[in-house]
Amino acid sequence: MKLVLAGGGTGGHIYPGLALAESFADEPAFAPLDVLFVGTRDRLEARIVPAAGVPIAYVRAAPLARSLSPSLVRTAVLNAVGFVQALAVLRRAKPDVLIATGGYVALPVVAALRALRSIGVSRAKIALFEANAVAGVTNRLLAPLVDETWYAIPPRRPLRARERVVGMPVRSSMRRDADAGDARRAFGLAPDVPTVVAMGGSQGAASINDALAAAAPALAPPAWQLVAISGERDHDALRTRFAGRAGVVVVPYLDDPRDAFAAADVVVARAGASTLGELAATGTPALLVPYPFATADHQRHNAEAYAASGAARVLADRELSGERLRAELDAMLATDALARLRAAARARASVDPRTTIAARVKHLLASNSALP
């Protein structure tokens, strides 16, 4: 099978595609697998995709202007150039399937493939992956152009025709077996003490870090211990606040957070789609603090949909304080409450979205019901 992945700009648009490329390589029905990622040269995918060993081609693209402005002409020109470049890339790649994983670069690539299909040059199927409960502008525009739309998180409305909920694919390392005691020892912590992991991505989450610092005098009593993944910006300040405290480890960032999830009884985190996918894959209970300035408030919708399964609780960022954080964690770590959270989280871990998506790809390849 010849697979083209189109997306970029953020890890939430890149890593799902790489996870699919990784898992599809082990699928006999897709052998031999030929993968090409299409992105932009000046965004995150230009570093991450080649490092993962996946070939990448570049086209021009620009975010869609939301109002009439001088940038509208530049946006139109760049996307028009990207459309022409995508035509050439797709003519060479001859894909059987295109999966667009989000980001504005997906627009010229999907549009180019639809153009090639309309003149009979390609018969490739097109799928659109939406990581969040609320679709972004680009994905809303692309939805009528694709054969299926796949959601990581159920949207806040009934599913339409050609829409499926598939879950969030994550890299295989997140699904490897990991012992909680060994993971805690790797952080220099006691192997048999309940553990909280607080994280906010590569830049950290200022409000979570502030709440941890405010709770420092009472945080991490002998009953439980803490791993704070602070982000580079707040690392020195947070480490100073916890200096000399037993049972507390502060690290700036983890490229592979599998051991942190394994160590955790509860994770405190934002509600980005990638984080929720990793929580689901590892079966880890969570206290979700949605980023309040996410586009269309999508993190709040993500968190509420995820918490509906019983695997997490949601705390609004405006309500976050040291005292409230401590109260929430004490309640979640209580024996009965933690048992319920773990059961719900492990139920989520039993389903691998990559398997679901592989089945959808097989369905598309076997179907004659592609859009004209």
Measured between alpha carbons, how far is 105 from 294 in angstroms, rounded to an integer? 20
Domains in the chain, please, with CATH? 2-167+352-366 (3.40.50.2000), 174-349 (3.40.50.2000)
pLDDT at 169: 93
Q: What is the pLDDT of residue 191?
A: 95
* Mean pLDDT across 162-188: 91
pLDDT, the chain, mean: 90
Please tell me the distance from the alpha carbon of residue 331 to that of residue 348, in angstroms, as a whole number: 22
> In the prediction, which pLDDT does 80 show?
93
Task: Quickly state the pLDDT bin for 234 (edges 50, 70, 90).
Answer: confident
Residue whose pair of structure tokens reads 């309309």 in the numeric block: 118
State how far the Cα of 68 lies from the Cα of 75, in Å rounded to an integer: 11
What confidence tens digit (pLDDT) does each residue in 31-84 have? 999 999 999 999 989 999 999 999 999 999 988 766 656 677 788 888 899 999
**Span 189-209, mean pLDDT?**
86
Q: What sign does the dihedral 205-63-3-151 (CA atoms) show?
A: positive
Local confidence band at 204 (pLDDT 50, 70, 90 cut-offs): low
Q: Residues of the chain with pLDDT > 70: what percent?
A: 95
Mean pLDDT of 315-321: 95
* pLDDT for position 69: 63
